[in-house]
Amino acid sequence: MGHEINNPDVKQKNHMNTIYTWIDSPTHLYPGHPEHPSRLQRLKERLPAFGARELPFQKATPQEVMRVHSGSLLRELEQACRAAPQIIDYAPTYVTPSSLEDAFNAAGAALTALRAILQQQATNGFAIIRPPGHHAEPQRAMGFCLFNNVAIAAREALSQGLERVLIVDIDAHHGNGTQAAFREEPRVAYFSTHQWGIYPGTGWLEDAPQARQRIVNVPLPAFSGDTVYLRAFEECLEAQVNRFQPQLFLISIGFDAHWRDPLTELGLTLQGYFRLAQRLVELAEHWCEGRILFVLEGGYDPHIIAEGGMAVLAALAHHPWTPPPETPPAAEPEIEDLLQRIRRWHGF
């Protein structure tokens, strides 16, 4: 299904124009917490890769952040950081004295990469950043997330004149904050695959009934892996793309859907991540001249983040990539009934 891209000129153009931004926020850390700077260390040691070039980033401004978040949230985070280190919600989400600055930097790194793509200084890119963002709602930080980086990037794209932005969320957890930010925004579509029954408890198939076809949730059973994800893309995502016809793809990429992640129970392999990234790049090349930005979210095994990051960069650059061999410990579930229900709900 879909549209294959076989033009070698396009492939060479992408190889020469893949950029990444980097912010590992080394002082945003809390003892024993899974969301910590060393998550990214192995990936950092392997950059740059596949011809991608690093782009220096500019910190986001309060005005840019407040396109998504309330001023009261910024004030609450500022006060919390003054009293840091401390836990600010049950997830648990934490702050340190530097966390507000780190959040502005992470959002800024996503914005810098996006602007390079929109201004045709790059074809595509990867914002490798922390703290992550997709749980952060307009009024509150939660789920290890302070600012919603991908939502802030989407608002910037709209401010630059784009009329249709599609966010694809491949994190193991539902991006409740992203959905909340665009629940009533017809110019932004949202597609999420996530493990059903885990934090934050949102992402029902029937969420946002007023936004059918535009907000599409695919709540997956445990151990869903490469076959399940590819079917969800082919039977649900591509139908949404055909209806919405996006001008930009933003990808919330979490490597916690991998079978080795310590916090979740999904079954993607590294080869599966590579194939999903390749498919997203192909769709972006068909619909929006290759404009696609991956933004890092979760993932709590440093080895898998490193290999998964290589998979994304290789897909962006149309570069061959062979993952290390691996065998998930559990068979994938049958999801035909789930996919039928999703297609019926959205009229796909």
Tokens for 342, please give them: 């999703």
- DSSP 8-state code for residue 331: P
Burial (CB count <10 Å: 0-12, 13-18, 19+), residue 155: buried
| Residues in Cβ contact with 91 at an 8 Å cutoff, skipping those fewer than 6 apart | 135, 142, 143, 144, 199
Angle between helices 302-316 and 270-288 (to 10 degrees): 30
232 vs 240: CA distance, rounded Å: 11
Catalytic site positions: 135
Strands (E), 70-206: 86-89, 93-95, 124-129, 165-169, 188-195
Closest CA to 18 of 254, 318, 280, 321: 318
321 vs 315: CA distance, rounded Å: 8
* Residue 32 CB-half CA count within 13 A: 2
